[in-house]
Chain A
Amino acid sequence: MRKITAPKIDARRIAARRIAARKIAAPIAAVLFSCLSLAILPNSDARAADPQIGEPLKPGEILRGHFTQERSLQGFQASLKSEGTFVVAQGKGLIWTVEKPYPTTTVITPDGLVQEARGNETLRLPASRVPFLTRLYDMLSGTMTGDWNAMKTQFSVETAGTSDDWTLQLRPKSTGDANMPIAEMRIQGGRYVNDVDMHRPSGDRDHLQFHDQTVGSGPLSDTETKLFEGVAKK
């Protein structure tokens, strides 16, 4: 017996959207990446556009930290929690390592995105296949050099607070774009980004918290270098 019920229709629509997930993943990753690397040196002097927000990473600098991620998904009894570490290397990219409950490593560089789980590659998105990624990468590098214009092409940005405790509110400029995976995003930080709250058009919500961030200029480990290089391969 088949009944077409409302949730099922929804599910179909979501299934359709799923296909675009590979593309959707990229912008979210890039936005997140830029947020992470955004605000690390809060006490700098007046910066014309957005004085509250710190300076970007300098070339060669590496930001490391821990994260907890909480995904609240529609229809799930509990939210999905995971935690792990991340590495942002200026000019190289981002390594996102989930340690619990299921270890995965996601690496994002200008060449694309690669995900590994237990030694097996589970996803690979070359940047050439996802120009979106490249475009948002432009945004990202713009942000890192203090140029907010690139970010502002996609989002309207509101800032509030002081340089020790600031908030960024991002809203997509075009509301009708089916490919825009973010409905609203709130970023809170001080010296570093502390908290990112992302609302998806589907009603899902991703809440990320960061702690124990450090900025160093030390070299990347061999594993990290290998991971970054692995994205360009193939």
Chain B
Amino acid sequence: MRRILALIWLALLLALAGHLAWKYHGGLQFSTDILALLPREPETPLLEKANRAVTDAVSRRIVLLIGDPDRETARNAAADLGRALAAAGLVKLDADSLSGDRLKKLGALYFPYRHSLLSPRDRSLLLAGQGEEVATNALSQIYGFVGLTDARLIAQDPFLLLQSFLTQLPVPMSRLTFDDGMLTTSEKGVTWILLTGTLTAEPFALDVQQRLIGPLDKAIVAQRQQHADLQVKRLGAVFFAAAGSQVAMEETSTLGLVSTIGSILLLLLTFRRIAPLWQNLLVIGIGAGTALSVSLLLFDHLHVAVLLFGVSLIGIAVDYGMYYYSSLFDPDCCTPEQRLRSVLPGITLGYVTTLLGYAILILAPFPGLRQIAIFSLIGLSASFVTVLLWFPLIDRLPPARHGAGMLRAAGLLWRFWEQPERRLVRWILGACLCIAAVIGLLRIHADDDVRKLQSLSPDLLAQQAEIQRLIGSTTSTQFLLVHAADDETALQREEQLAPILDRLRGKSVLDGYQSPAAFVPSAARQRENRQLIETRLNQPYLAQQVQQLGLPAPKAAEDDDAVLTLDKARAEDTVPFLSSLVLQPGIHVVMLDGLRDTAALRAATQDLDGVRVIDPTGDYTTLLSKYRYRAVWLIVIAVLLMMPVLIWRYGWLGSILVKAPSVTAITLAAAAVGLAGEGFTFFHAMALILVQSIGVDFAVFCAESSRNRQSVTMLGVWLATLTTLLSFGVLAFSQVAAVHAFGLTMLVGLIFAFLLAPLAGNAKPRRGLTGTGNGRNPV
């Protein structure tokens, strides 16, 4: 019977392996954007869309700044790097977005509407009845220093209103200008050329990062070999993501080496056989492979963190293998069948409780968390079935004879908890732990700043700051979302918003802003402008003005009901930045420069209808905090959910004894985070879930263990602890904040789960499961 089931299992696994191979052949892609893991609050779809559109646009931007003391060298290098970027086929360069041609188009677009457009300064002068001031300003310019005005425009626009409007357009990147077709700025004798582009592929995909950055770096190195003074600074989510992957890979190779070699040595030295090693690897491998294969069936996109956390959670399956193989040292178990029977109640209960603990993650409204839960449930189940069906068939090992010393050593811990003469030591130890727990828990504080968790490369952050300083761009990640039924209403709302933002700028809350209404005033505002120009400028001063200039008498005003519309302005992408400010009709974005006080902005704009402050980083941080909070509650629920199973098996008191070690372990692990002075994050909480499951496993193994098997059980627990520490505990040394958080919690939690596990030995199972260990002492 077992043979048939094992064969069916094999067939199933082969099918899944085939599926995996097919998927792999088609090119497996994992998303690496950490933010993609996080849930979105049930926001309105509108905000979702706005958020995504802006974040997407931002995350795909690529900025290179190329500087050299020699202008030509800088320009040539920029052209060369532009070609290198274009050759990779992943970037759409927009270097010519503001070229001379664009300027001409811009002038041609606005010119017919010059009677409806006013710069903020001219408008406020006219509103204040100071039309004469506008007229004289124009005359001063026309008569002033050569070259500042152009003849034929003066004839059409004797008050230079259009010039004033154009020069006061709020254009970001304030320090850049066009020099012979290239956006340029210069400082301290160095000419900097700006190269910008948009990624056409997902910036968080590993292969995109490699295909882009490899050729780019090569081109930079080649350029620098010729020009020693050449500097290239870069900015873009893709570079940050690649640097992150780089750190992760370097760490994986060092930490991974420590953990792999450590685990192999441990198993070889303990068993002096190769079989337990490869069979355990088989269990984990089947778990991970099955989970991956099935997950790819279930989900379109799998996040790399799902893989990471998922495989981690499946890693708990090593407990089963270790527990099984520790039976090699049990002189009472001579056959594989007996070995399995002796550990079956333990691993079954462990499996069931872990299943409950992981399943609870499905309840969390995180897309990523759900994937992790399902991934690990599948993997864990596959590992469990493999142990159950295959181990008795592939295990051909005779009982091991060399384990006496190890068993004695392993049993020491159990005896420590039982010996009456150590009672005092235990009490003192318990008191110390209580004090540490209280102090640690009192000192615990949450820190959900998403930027800290991402551990951004300091070098790239410095380059980013330098680029922003050089080009004078201080565009904030925060922005205002204006939504209304149509464009006209949205533009009018922006016009109501403008004086508020101007006042905030006066108070240095922000440096500037770009709103669609500054480029295209609302139709209502355009008509009002026309009225202002007619009554307060043309009627009183036009005749005088043209006479003064010696111009022919002004033509009668053109039919002037024409209004510049947003659609018209956006056609052909003539007005820079405008398209990125209009998401869809009636939904606009107001970009902010140098915002210093988000709270002040919120307060100042909260009374405006249809205007909302969006703070993506802040929002993510808020979300992380909400879900950290929720994850902690999920742990509590998981503990409670496991209880019925444990009560059924061990009775009320017994269930508490079995639960106590893991609950104490997670409490102490959390306290350790507080004592270490780290902010408690969602990643700490995730590790606590794993600690909790492992803690229950250990406790159940001990509770299911008969008195004469105590040493054997403890040896299994020892081995499981050490292998898990080697794989997860080492993560505490990671540079990546999130990984470190996970590792540190695992390290501390696991040690206590292990140390306290024998306490559960006092709980005695009431009823038999499939088969109980032999030689059990009746209670």
Report A's interface with B, CB cutoff 8 A: 1-2, 7, 10-25, 28-29, 32, 69, 71, 73-80, 82, 96, 98, 101-104, 106, 115, 117-118, 120, 122-123, 126-132, 134-135, 177-179, 181, 198, 202-204, 206, 208
Contacts and interface: CB of A to CB of B under 8 A. Distances in A.
B151 A202 contact: yes
A132 B551 contact: no
Nearest to A11: B156
B269 interface: no
B151 A74 contact: yes
A18 B107 contact: yes
B156 A21 contact: no
A152 B632 CA distance: 74
Contacts of A123: 141, 148, 167
Nearest to A129: B177
Given A22-B167, A78-B550, A131 B151 contact: no
Nearest to A130: B177
B549 A80 contact: yes
Contact of B186 (A12, A25, A134): A134
Contact of A128 (B110, B154, B180, B185): B185
A104 B140 contact: yes
A75 B111 CA distance: 18
Contact of B145 (A23, A104, A126): A104
A178 B101 CA distance: 9
B153 A11 contact: yes
B704 to A, nearest CB: 76
Closest 7 pairs between A and B when the two form their complex, measured CB to CB: A16-B107, A73-B151, A28-B147, A16-B104, A117-B140, A78-B550, A106-B145
Give the size category of B's interface with A: 35 or more
8 contacts: A12-B112, A73-B154, A98-B145, A102-B136, A106-B148, A128-B185, A128-B186, A129-B185
Most buried by A among B107, B140, B157, B163: B140
A131 B162 contact: no
Given A74-B151, A75-B552, A102 B187 contact: no
Contacts of B145: 25, 29, 96, 98, 104, 106, 115
Contacts of B162: 15, 18
A104 B141 contact: yes
A80 B413 CA distance: 103
B141 to A, nearest CB: 6
Given A21-B148, A22-B167, 19 more contacts: A15-B108, A15-B162, A16-B111, A18-B107, A18-B166, A19-B103, A23-B178, A75-B552, A76-B550, A98-B140, A102-B136, A102-B143, A106-B148, A115-B141, A122-B141, A129-B175, A134-B186, A179-B178, A198-B146
Given A11-B111, A18-B150, A76-B549, A104 B144 contact: yes
Nearest to A22: B167
B191 interface: yes
A11 B163 CA distance: 13
Contact of B177 (A23, A69, A82, A202): A23
Contact of A74 (B100, B152, B180, B472): B152
Nearest to B152: A14
B148 A25 contact: yes
Interface string B118-148: 0000000000000000001101111111111
A10 B152 contact: yes
A102 B142 CA distance: 9
B144 A135 contact: no
B105 interface: yes
Most buried by A among B142, B150, B179: B150
Contact of B142 (A15, A22, A80, A120): A80
Majority secondary structure of chain A interface residues (helix, strand, loop or mixed) = mixed
Contacts of A24: 147
A131 B184 contact: yes
B71 A135 contact: yes
Given A17-B107, A202-B152, A129 B176 contact: yes
Interface string B431-445: 000000000000000
B155 interface: yes
Nearest to A26: B147
Interface string B161-179: 0110011000000111111
A32 to B, nearest CB: 7
B421 interface: no
Contacts of B154: 73, 76
Contacts of B110: 15
A122 B160 CA distance: 12
Contacts of A206: 146-147
B149 interface: yes
B559 interface: yes
Contacts of A177: 180
Contacts of A198: 146
A2 to B, nearest CB: 6
A79 B151 CA distance: 11
Given A1-B559, A11-B156, A102 B140 contact: yes
Contacts of A2: 558-559
B106 interface: yes
Contacts of B179: 131-132, 135
B108 to A, nearest CB: 5
Contacts of B166: 18-19
B149 to A, nearest CB: 7
A11 B155 contact: yes
A20 B105 CA distance: 12
